[in-house]
Structure 1
Amino acid sequence: MAETIHEQFQLSLYMVETASYRSLNIIDQVYPHWVASYVACGEVKSSSCGESWMAHAGDVMVHPPYLPFSEQAVGPGQHHWFLFDATIAHQIDLFRLYPVTPVVSLMPSSPFSSIFEHLLQIWLDSRSAFRSIQVSAYSLQLCSLILERWQACGSVQRSEALQTPPDRFINVIRYMTTHLERKLSRDELAALVHLHPGYFDRAFRSIYKLSPMQMLRELRLQQAQHLLETTDASLASIALQCGLSEAGYFSRVFRQRYGRTPGNYRESAKNAKESYLRPL
């Protein structure tokens, strides 16, 4: 069965630039947004929070918001870099959900550089009627290339030294996602980040505009939606897999969230995937 894509992406772009230099000595630079810097040529030593890495031509350096970083090079080089924020549903930060390493090595055949050139061209052309759509499309392609390569290299996560407070809550969301079938309590989730349940609830809500338990229900319903579209499992089985108690409760909360019963939703999803071009 074909899969429907429901993910909601929100991307904000603040700077797109190609920068050339004879040498480089950036010390403790801080931005309030993510930085992705592709090394088109040259060799750079990147460091942050007492750790350091070497970035060579074809590598992308990824710097988190509000975390001081340094970049140094004794020889000439060129970077294609952009300043951005990328979130999915409920304000979940894409690059915190997938905590890529500070340096990601792309394949030699990667189209990153050519896609960046298209992005830069559109970024500098304010006359384009569809500029925002094109900018978003090219930026998401670049983010996708970084994430895909990070995953292909083993999905090694950033070290704890490079984690900021919002990263702690992303770990809670990952825990929710991998334990949807379990009965999870606010106290258990708060214990994951060593916070008092009341403070945890308030801090979590301040970032995601949902309480931890509301987020858990959203994740459960999203997984149920996915299973309705991609499997023939019974409603009782889906309810059990998603921690939604039993079929009756599942049907009730699903209808409250999506405006239709799980059975009606499944039928609509099935009909929507039938080709409108039918052979005579």
Structure 2
Amino acid sequence: MWMSTKPPDWVEGPWSVQLHSVNRSAYAKLHMENRSFPNWIISYVKTGHVLTSTGGETHTVKAGEVMLHPPGLPFSEHADVGGVHLWMQVSILCSHQFDLLMLYRVSPVIAIPNPVRYEAVFAKLLADWGNRALSFRDLKITTSALQLTEMILSGWEKAGNPERSSAYNSSGDRFARLIGQMSMRLEEKLTREELGRLVCLSANYMDRAFQQQFGRTPMQMLREMRLKRSKQLLEMSEETLEAIAASCGFTDASYLCKQFKKVYGVLPGEYRETVQSKQSENVYG
């Protein structure tokens, strides 16, 4: 099993949003066949109802629900009655520029807990998107897009975090799920061969394909994740270096110190002391 039904807590910022289009579309009837786009299509049904299908799997979507169509994956939408969709073509990225909706295997149809709020935020996004002379436009549209994303994830969580089926697997899913596995198993001694088995690839082929996509091998990325997690624990906890090393997959505190100094330029203890001193400082004295 790749992932538990509880959403993982390892997906972190910094967050970024790449919006490619934002629109409101009204129709009398809808017959869209086998369309695909290079980025996520997130389409909220404001009025009407739609049948959407991907890879032979069909869903009925009602007003107040959102459809999520993965990049590069053909989908169809049909409606014999009129409706209005609020939609955007977007990439939502978290740390290491990972695709958030690839890492979270969010179901293809989600009921929005508060449709009125969703529609209000979308209306602001659409207005800001269309005003290219707007001051701080990128900041405003990013803020609105992340608010919409949070509402989508809240709806998914409220439904019990159902995962999308294999019918919705796209070319980006294989490595996204591998990254998810690495993130949830930082404390384990994972080998190249074991990671390769997780994605049904030889270790050498996996390394080449992964590096082509992410600019580093899976083991290099795993080391980055472990060091980043150790950095967070030094900032937020009072755990010993031995405990932090164990929970982040380092053989011992000495090896953690060596790797940490190599990447961050200071020893873990020095970093913790500096951070905690700043955290406890009274800004206004």
Q: Same fold (TM over 0.5)?
A: yes
- State the SS of the aligned residue for 1:25: strand
Structure 2 distance, partners of 1:275, 1:44, is 56
Alignment of 1:99-110 (within 5 A): 99-108=105-114
Match of residue 217 from structure 2: 211
Structure 2 distance, partners of 1:102, 1:115, is 21
Structure 2 distance, partners of 1:210, 1:126, is 36
Structure 1 distance, partners of 2:178, 2:15, is 21
Aligned residues: CA RMSD: 1.7
Q: Over residues 92-133 of structure 1, what are the superposed CA-to-partner deviations in whole Å (9 max), with x where a residue is unaligned?
A: 111100111110111145511111011011001011121111
- Aligned residue pairs total 275
- State the SS of the aligned residue for 2:219: helix
- State the SS of the aligned residue for 1:165: coil
Q: Which letter does structure 1 place at the counterpart of 2:149?
A: C
Query: Runs of 5+ in structure 2 lacking a partner?
Result: 1-10
Per-residue deviation at 1:76? 1.1
Q: Over residues 225-248 of structure 1, what are the superposed CA-to-partner deviations in whole Å (9 max), with x where a residue is unaligned?
A: 221122110001100111111111
Q: Which letter does structure 1 place at the counterpart of 2:25?
A: A
Identity percentage of aligned residues: 37
Of stretches 101-110 and 265-274 in structure 1, the one that deviates more from structure 2 is 265-274
Match of residue 146 from structure 2: 140
Q: Give the conservation status (yes or no) of the 8 Å contact 1:63–1:69.
A: yes
Match of residue 128 from structure 2: 122
Q: Which letter does structure 2 place at the counterpart of 1:56?
A: K
Alignment of 1:68-79 (within 5 A): 68-79=74-85
Match of residue 8 from structure 2: none
Query: Runs of 5+ in structure 1 lacking a partner?
Result: none
**Does residue 1:49 correspond to 2:58, yes or no?**
no
Query: Scaled by the length of structure 1, what TM-score is found?
Result: 0.93
Match of residue 29 from structure 1: 35
Identify which of 5, 21, 24 aligns with 1:18. 24
**Residues 164 and 6 (structure 1 numbering): CA distance in 2 closer, same or farther, change over 3 Å?**
closer
Per-residue deviation at 1:272? 3.5
**Residues 30 and 265 (structure 1 numbering): CA distance in 2 closer, same or farther, change over 3 Å?**
same
Q: Which letter does structure 1 place at the counterpart of 2:30?
A: L
4+ runs deviating over 4 angstroms: none
- State the SS of the aligned residue for 2:59: strand
**Does residue 1:178 correspond to 2:165, yes or no?**
no
Identify which of 7, 12, 37 aligns with 2:13. 7
Per-residue deviation at 1:140? 1.2
